[in-house]
Amino acid sequence: MTKETMAILVNEKTKVLVQGITGKEGSKVTLQMQNYGTKVLAGVTPKKGGQEVHAVPVYNSINEALDNHPGINTSFIAVPNFAAFGAMEEAIQAKIPLINVLTEHIPIADTAKAIALARKAGVRIVGPSSIGIISPTVGKVGSIGGDDPRGVFNKGNIGVISKSGGMASEVSWILTKNGMGQSTVVGIGGDVLVGSTFADLMVDFEKDEQTKAVVLFGEIGGTYEEEAADMIKHGKFSKKVVAFISGLFAQNLPQGTKLGHAGAIIYGKKGSYKSKIESLKSAGVKIAKTPDEIPDLLK
């Protein structure tokens, strides 16, 4: 493996298309990505072709953008929720290998359809409601790290996968402060259905030579933490894993209560704090009681 292809999802070869580039978020994140050294080749907003946003040319459609910039290999989607399915479908049909979706509040049926289409086309969705992906000092896709990720994120050998955008940064900052850099940090989003789960990304981290250990930030609701535990139990992930699961306090709230994220929903035993902790522990995962314990558990 050459040095250039280290880290996962985002590397020196990443060339980004921004869908919804003329919108507030799209335009802001475009500038952030450029400032962090990520190549943003083109943007798409229907009917706004011909414009420029931060010197990036805008096209009416993805096909038009690809005709002019065949190197595009990543799409970043920041469109309103009602337009998100159309945007994802267009990116999938164009076979863009990596599609990162920032948009929140996408109807669950639309996400389910996009996930099914992406599977068929063999492309990968990260999100919806994803804060983004960063390979520190190499590049970033999405809003992760804000205007200036330097300082909070640092290059190293820890992979981070987080349902929460804020906690992706907080965990990375805790690692950086303790002299532990990150290979790639991925916000998978806190929706009920997500394009990439912990386990999906652990497949990549397992192969990645730069990554020596992985930190998972999970929360109550759903089964993605349990899926990760199963993967480890089946011997498909051999590197060290430290996890932090939030939502202990929510156990006593009424059934059906949703917390910060759409997927953080309390329904009986399934997806409960206890279920997640027990399955991860039985897979040999070290559980941090507070995020600040993570660095010690990685040692």
Partner 1 sequence: MQLFEFEGKELFKICGINVPKSQLITFEKLDSSSSATSTPLSTGSLRVRMTGEVVLKAQVLSGKRADAGGIVKVTKINDLRFKIKELFQRTINGEKVEKILVEEMVDIVREYYLSFSYSTETRGPVLTFGAGGTGVESKGKSKSFEVNILIGVDKEVLKHLPGELVDTAKKLWEVFIKYDCELAEINPLSLDKNGKVWALDAKVILDDDADFRREVKFEERNLFGRPPAKAEIEARKIDEGDHRGTSGSVYWDLPGDIAVMAAGGGGSVVNMDALIALGGKPANYTEHSGNPPREKLKKLTKIVLSKPNLKGCWFVGGTANFTDIYETLMGFVEGLRELKPRPAYPIVIRRGGPRDKEAFEELKRIGKEEGFDFHIYGKETPMTSTAKIMVELAYGKKQIVIPSEGK
Residues in region 74-133 near partner 1 by CB under 8 A:
81-82, 105-109, 112-113, 115-117, 120, 131
Q: Which residue matches tokens 């996400």?
A: 111
For every residue of 272-288, DSSP letters joined together read -HHHHHHHHHHTT-EE-
E-assigned strand segments in the chain = 15-19, 39-44, 52-53, 56-59, 74-77, 98-101, 124-126, 132-135, 139-142, 155-162, 182-187, 213-219, 240-246, 286-287
**Active-site annotation holder among 54, 69, 105, 261:** 261
Q: Which of 20, 43, 145, 156 binds partner 1 (CB under 8 A)?
A: 145
Gap between the Cα atoms of 56 and 190, Å rounded: 30
Q: Which of 233, 248, 284, 296 binds partner 1 (CB under 8 A)?
A: 248
Task: Give catalytic status of residue 234 as yes or no.
Answer: no
> Minimum CB separation from partner 1 for residue 44, in Å?
22
Q: Which of 55, 179, 235, 290 binds partner 1 (CB under 8 A)?
A: 290
> Minimum CB separation from partner 1 for residue 102, in Å?
11
Cβ atoms 153, 168 nearer than 8 A? no
Alpha helices in 122-189 (DSSP H): 165-177
Stretch that binds partner 1, among 36-44, 48-56, 202-210, 244-252 (CB under 8 A): 244-252
Q: Which of 56, 193, 214, 283 binds partner 1 (CB under 8 A)?
A: 193
State the Rg of the chain over Cα: 18
Enumerate residues 203-232 that contact partner 1 by CB under 8 A.
Answer: 217, 219-220, 222-224, 227
284 binds partner 1 (CB under 8 A): no
